[in-house]
Structure 1
C-alpha cells in the first residue's frame, strides 16, 4: 500500500467513525477486535511474534474501550456480566500472547462471537435506546 493510499484509507476510516452512531461504533469495535485476534492467531502460526504482539495489544485496548463504555447504572446485571467477560478475555489474551497459544485465541473468539451476534441483532428501531 502506498503512502497516499494509506492516508486515504485512514481518512475514510476516520470519517466513517465520525459519522457512526454509538451503536455502530460498538459494532465496528467488535469487528476490529475479532479481526485483531484472528490476525494474531495467524501470526503465531507464522511465527511472526511482532505482529502477534501488536494485534493482541490492539485487541486488549479495544476491550478496554468496550468495558469503559458500559453503563452500570442503566445496564445493571448485563453490564456487570459483560465487564466480567471483558476482564476474562483480556486476561486470556495476555496468557495466549505469553504462551503463543492459538487455541486460547480461538477460545476467546468463541466467547466474543455471541456477544457480537447479540449486538448485531438489535433491531434498528431499538439501536438508539441501547445502553450497557
Structure 2
C-alpha cells in the first residue's frame, strides 16, 4: 500500500467512525478486535513476533475500550458477565503472546464470536436504545 493510499484509507476509516452510531462503533470494534487476533495468529506462524506484539497490544486496547463502555447501572448482570469475559480474554491474550500460542488465541476468538454475534443480531429498530 502506498503512502497516499494508506493516508486515504486512514481518512476514510476515521470519517466512517465519526459518522457511526454508538451501536455501529461497537460492531466496528469487535470486527477490528477479531482481525487483530487473527493477524497475530498468522504472525506467530510466520515467527513475526514484532507484528504479533503490535496486533495483540491493539487487541487488548480494544478490549479495554469495550469493557470501559459497559453500563453497569442499566446492564446489570449482563454487563458484569461481559466485564469478566473481557478481563479473561485480555489475560489469555497476554498468555498467548508470552508463549506464542496460537491455540490460546483461537480460544479467545471462540469466546468473542458469540458476543459479536449477539451484538450483530440486535434488531435495527432497537439499536438506538442499546445501552452497553
- TM-score grouping bracket, smaller chain normalisation: over 0.9
Superposition misfits of 4+ residues, deviation over 4 angstroms: none
Q: Does 1:87 align with 2:77?
A: no
Shift of 1:118: 0.2
1:42 aligns to what? Answer: 42
**CA-atom RMSD in angstroms:** 0.4
- Take 2:7 and 2:92, find their aligned partners in 1: how far apart are those partners? 34
Shift of 1:119: 0.2
Unaligned residue ranges in structure 1 (runs of 5+): none
Unaligned residue ranges in structure 2 (runs of 5+): none
1:3 aligns to what? Answer: 3
How high is the TM-score relative to the length of structure 2?
A: 0.99
1:65 aligns to what? Answer: 65
Residues 18-38 of structure 1 show CA distances to partners (whole Å, capped at 9, x for unaligned) of 000000000000000000000
- Take 2:12 and 2:74, find their aligned partners in 1: how far apart are those partners? 33
Residues 61-109 of structure 1 show CA distances to partners (whole Å, capped at 9, x for unaligned) of 0000000000000100000000000000000000000000000000000
How high is the TM-score relative to the length of structure 1?
A: 0.99
